[in-house]
Amino acid sequence: MPTNKVFFDVMMSLDGLMAPEGMNLAHINDPEYKQWMKKWMELTHWIFLQKSFRENLKIGTGGETGRDNALLEETSQRTGVSIMGKNMFSGGERSWPEEAPFHTPVFVLTKEVRKPWERPGGTTFYFVNDGIESALHQAREVAGNKDIRIAGGANTIQQYLNAGLVDEFTIHYSPVLFGQGTPLFVNINPDIKAKIREVIPSKEVAHIIYEVEK
């Protein structure tokens, strides 16, 4: 039996949305469209304050070093490989810095046939054309003794959840409401059962860690 855990770790609004309305590839260069950038920054405000995040994206020195920051560090340290969908990759390909912020192998679910794309800093993107289980099998081969993160987006996470392949997940709830946007828990198998393992509050965000019952 594989020992790697499969997990996801996402930010969410109080009304269960991962991204505000208007945040998609069609409007990625138009932050005023439905004010998606303003809403996104409200959701993610807490993470830009953290030392580890600022250092990883090279957006400045300093930053907070409390429990919020420790959670980000723990997630980074446990991740041996990531899996993401084509939409997430396409958006990131336009906006990530040259040194992409993963520093691990990343498997991209796509119909596009493409050679691996190596970036500075230890990130290499591999393009998988034969489904989620193939991507997971390939991820296990390179993860070593670390865990496998389903990076997103929502549809990719939903596929892994519905296939019974997720072991645990963390949701960071920010005190914002979007009204419209991208829901995470839609078209989900209602037989999936999760239990709360830990709740970690802070002044900016509530972190809830869940285990998926097998």
Tell me the H-state helices in the chain. 36-48, 51-57, 67-78, 86-95, 132-143, 154-162
Q: Percent of the chain, pLDDT > 70?
A: 100
- pTM comes to 0.94
Q: How confident is the model at residue 186 (pLDDT cuts 50, 70, 90)?
A: very high
Number of other residues whose CB lies within 10 A of the CB of residue 69: 18
Q: What is the pLDDT of residue 173?
A: 98
CATH code, residues 6-22+30-206? 3.40.430.10
Q: What is the CA radius of gyration of the chain?
A: 17
Residue 48 Ramachandran class (φ > 0 left, ψ -120 to 50 alpha, else beta): alpha
pLDDT of 154 strictly over 80:
yes
Contacts of the segment 52-60: beta carbons below 8 A, 24+ positions apart: 52/76, 56/101, 57/97, 57/101, 58/97, 58/99
**Alpha-carbon 207 to chain mean position:** 14
Q: What is the mean pLDDT of residues 91-112?
A: 93
For 2-39, write each residue's pLDDT tens digit: 789 999 999 999 999 999 999 987 887 888 899 999 99
pLDDT at position 1, please? 63
So what's the pLDDT on residue 43?
Answer: 97
Res. 88: pLDDT tops 70: yes
Q: What pLDDT, in 10s, does the model give residues 124-139? A: 999 999 999 999 999 9
How far is Cα 132 from Cα 139, in angstroms, rounded to an integer?
10
What DSSP character marks residue 37? H
pLDDT of 94 above 90: no
User: Looking at residues 173-180, what average pLDDT do you find?
Assistant: 97
Residue carrying structure tokens 């800093």: 121
Q: Which phi and psi angles does 97 have, rounded to 5°? A: -65, 170
**pLDDT recorded at residue 64:** 96
74: nearest Cα among 184, 170, 178, 161: 170
* pLDDT score of 97: 87
pLDDT value at 46 more than 70: yes
Strand duo 117-118 + 6-12: pairing: unpaired
pLDDT at 153 over 80: yes
Across the range 58-76, mean pLDDT stands at 94
